[in-house]
Amino acid sequence: MNETVLRDLGIFEGILQHLRVSEPSSLLGFRVQPARRWRSSPIAQRSIVPLWECGTVLTYFDQSSATYRRCSLEGPKTDWFSYRSLQAALARLFIDLYEDELPDEEMLALAKTVGFRYAERLITESADLNREAYHVWASAFPQACEA
């Protein structure tokens, strides 16, 4: 892990510390694991900065397009998202944590630690949505965090 490059991309110390220690029982333990498996995937041939993995899923910065992306290491040609800002990629991560039922208080504290500025908004906006409205909102929310 090249911490200088990650810092240049805006990765906060809270995530860097988590990646250094990588405690499975931490709030990020499952969703944010040190990026290691990507080296044995075809994506290793591309110009990327791996940010973190979750099993065989990689979140990374694509240097050629200056975008934050996520893909399966088993099929890296198809990106699951592509955002212009780290805040949008963090929004997707926090939606995953919200769906994992991370308590609001823990989510807010974690957001402060990792530099995610939109956690309160995520909690407020998603709280009373029905299933269909939630899926529409969850698809659009990260892009609303691009600014």
Cα dihedral value 36, 41, 43, 46, nearest 10: 90
Residue 36 shares a structural domain with residue 53: yes
95 in the same domain as 79? no
d(CA 13, CA 123): 23
Three-state secondary-structure class, residue 52:
strand
Taking the C-alpha atoms of residue 62 and residue 59, their distance in angstroms, rounded to an integer, is 10
Separation between Cα atoms, residue 116 and residue 112, nearest integer Å: 6
Per-residue pLDDT, 2:
85
Query: Is there a single domain that holds both residue 12 and residue 31?
Result: yes
> Residue 48 in contact with residue 61, Cβ under 8 Å?
yes
**Which of 44, 66, 84 is at the close of a domain?**
84
Same domain membership, residue 74 and residue 27: yes
Residue numbers of the domain that contains 128: 88-144
- pLDDT for 1 equals 64
For position 25, what pLDDT does the model report?
Answer: 87
Mark whether 97 and 68 lie in a shared domain: no
Question: Do 105 and 37 fall within a single domain?
Answer: no
**pTM (2 decimals)?**
0.94
Read off the DSSP letter of residue 38.
Answer: G
pLDDT by residue, tens only, the chain of 147 residues: 689 999 999 999 999 999 999 888 899 999 999 999 999 999 999 999 999 999 999 999 999 999 999 999 999 999 999 999 999 999 999 999 999 999 999 999 999 999 999 999 999 999 999 999 999 999 999 999 996
User: Are 104 and 127 in a shared domain?
Assistant: yes
Residue in this structure with the two tokens 């823990």, named with its chain if needed: 106
- The Cβ of residue 20 has, within 10 Å, a number of other Cβ atoms equal to 11
Length of the chain (residues): 147
Show the DSSP H helices in the chain as ranges.
3-8, 13-21, 86-99, 104-114, 119-126, 131-144
- Same domain (yes/no): 78, 135: no
How many domains in the chain? 2
pLDDT of the residue at 112 = 97
